[in-house]
Amino acid sequence: MKKSLSALARLSGLIFLVLVWQIFSSLNLFERTLFPSPLETLSAFINLFIRNNLAKEIAFTVQRVFSGFIAATLLGVFIGLLVGINKVLFRSFEGLIDFFRSIPVVTLYPIFIMIFGINDEAKIAMTFWATFWIITLNTIYGVRQSNETRRAVAKVYGASKTQSFKWITFYEALPLIMVGMRVAVSYALLTEIICEMFMGSNFGIGQKIYEANVRLSTPELYALVAITGVLGVLINRLFVMFERKIIPWTGEL
């Protein structure tokens, strides 16, 4: 019973949104071509999967998202740990990292086009850039905020610097690293969709959104936007499950 009520509570916001959407659509406050009804959007949603093989488009988008995200995670965590553990490196590179992090990735669009051209490499590179700085900065601050007292106690008991780093510093930094990764994976999806829309692509959700807009196929456009939102939620939920496996102790704090 409690599980049913919990599931209903989670769906209540979505139900409310659809009802408001239907009411506004029925009142004809906007042009029908600009504001389709939920039923028209649902029909377009189903057709996209049945007739247009949308699963293939989603697969290409997800592949590019995780290609950039995984590369950013591997390099970002490595550099973050290196800079975070060394005070000299931290003072030297903190401002530089903050500077690059503050540059909106879309402003670098022409540079990525000149370097990589209009292909998958450019999209993956932009996704990498958008996520790398978030993960790096979170890793650095995760290391910097680790407990010095625990490291001192470990040293008293004969732990080497490597052991202290491995079993204390790294594990204490993990929660912030995971937070950075969770934020970064959402940015990765956002960046990839934008790249597909403006760079163009043979396959991808962003490309389908662009095509639907050009054709003024509004129900399909709304359906694709909804699919993007659902994809983002699914990626986030999967990452939460992964996070609980990696750092189960955070749920108890």
Q: Quick one: 185 and 215 in the same domain? A: yes
Cα–Cα distance between 170 and 176 in angstroms, integer? 10
- The whole-number pLDDT of residue 6 equals 61
Cα–Cα distance between 128 and 106 in angstroms, integer? 13
pLDDT tens for the chain, 253 residues: list them.
556 656 566 677 777 888 887 787 777 777 777 788 888 888 888 888 877 778 888 899 999 999 999 999 999 999 999 998 888 888 888 888 888 888 888 888 888 888 888 888 889 999 999 999 999 999 998 888 877 777 777 777 777 777 787 787 888 888 899 999 999 999 999 999 988 888 877 788 888 888 888 888 888 898 899 889 889 989 988 888 888 888 877 654 4
Longest dimension (CA), the chain: 75
- The whole-number pLDDT of residue 67 equals 94
Q: Quick one: 248 and 129 in the same domain? A: yes
Q: Are 211 and 157 in contact (CB under 8 A)?
A: no
Q: Quick one: 103 and 2 in the same domain? A: no
Domain holding 12, by residue range, is 1-30
Q: Quick one: 25 and 42 in the same domain? A: no
Q: Quick one: 21 and 69 in the same domain? A: no
Tokens of 196: 């597909």
Q: Quick one: 20 and 66 in the same domain? A: no
Q: Quick one: 21 and 47 in the same domain? A: no
Q: Are 123 and 106 in contact (CB under 8 A)?
A: no
- The whole-number pLDDT of residue 4 equals 62
Structurally, the chain folds into a number of domains equal to 2
What are the CA-CA distances from residue 117 to residues 7, 60, 125, 145, 204 (Å)? 46, 18, 11, 41, 17
Q: Quick one: 82 and 206 in the same domain? A: yes
Q: Quick one: 120 and 26 in the same domain? A: no
CATH number of the domain within which 90 lies: 1.10.3720.10
Residue 157 exposure: Cα atoms within 13 Å on the Cβ side: 9
Q: Quick one: 47 and 25 in the same domain? A: no
Q: Quick one: 142 and 226 in the same domain? A: yes
Closest CA to 72 of 171, 172, 192, 167: 192
Q: Quick one: 198 and 237 in the same domain? A: yes
